[in-house]
Amino acid sequence: MNKTYLIILLLLFQNLLAAQTISENWVPVSIEKEGSIFINVSGLSSFTGDEIYVWALQEFNSPMTMEEVDGKIYKVKTYYLINKQLIRYSILQIVYYDSKNNVIKHYTYEHKSDNGQFKYNYPILKNSDAEKILSMCLEYISKPAEKK
């Protein structure tokens, strides 16, 4: 009888965990012959201040290689912190994937400074991927809630 209670308890716990899973909603930002860029817009509308936290996914039509990463890279998932006012960004995390969606390398970066020049390492340049990502974020954030 104890095993039955344990199994029921485990099943209930599993259902609770599944119910708390955050769903992802990837929206295309740029589709070009080299590859595509998407952003996850789930929860994006909550960023009404100057800072935007957003995951971007870059998929390559031809795999790329980097010295620091063992194997061919087919996808890169990047967690950005973007400041709308300063028009600058930083990378908080970056994950590299192989052809089978296995993580082949992962980096996490810390930004301990409150100074915008150090907290946001890179300027957003015209026609850059970062500018396209910011534009899509702003477009999505400005949409009325009922149209999302």
Structure tokens at 77: 């998932």
21, amino acid identity: T
- Residue 36 class from Cβ within 10 Å (0-12 exposed, 13-18 middle, 19+ buried)? middle
Of the two residues 116 and 10, the one the predictor is more confident about is 116
61-105 residue pLDDT tens: 999 999 999 899 999 999 999 999 999 999 999 999 999 999 999
Q: Residue 87 has what DSSP assignment?
A: T
The predicted-structure confidence for 9-35, as pLDDT tens digits, reads as follows 445 455 544 444 568 899 999 999 999
